[in-house]
Amino acid sequence: MSKTLEAIHTLEDRLKTLLTNYEFLKEENEILLENVNRLQHQLILNQQELENQKKNFEVLKIAKTINGSKENTRETKLKINALIREIDKCIIQLNE
């Protein structure tokens, strides 16, 4: 009978240890999920900032070319032509 009681106590101790570990891992998982969400949000903000900086850089290149710089003249002309084509498409769609 004492072996049965000893086995029950051992089982209880193991269950307590498992529950303690479970609670610890559950809290750790919540913290990690919060960190993942925070980092994903930061990544999205960084990507948006990068896109804004790329657009600003393109505008700056165009402005520099218009001011008389000989660099990137071809790229600027191509960009202006692409913008004109886009505007023409919009006008055609508005007239339909």
- pLDDT at residue 4, as a whole number: 87
Band of the pLDDT at 49, cuts 50, 70, 90?
very high
Can you give the pLDDT at residue 1? 63
Q: Average pLDDT of 26-44?
A: 97
Q: Identify which of 79, 84, 81 has the alpha carbon closest to the alpha carbon of residue 58.
A: 79
For the chain, give every domain's residue range. 2-95
Provide the pLDDT confidence category of residue 82 given band limits of 50, 70 and 90. Answer: confident
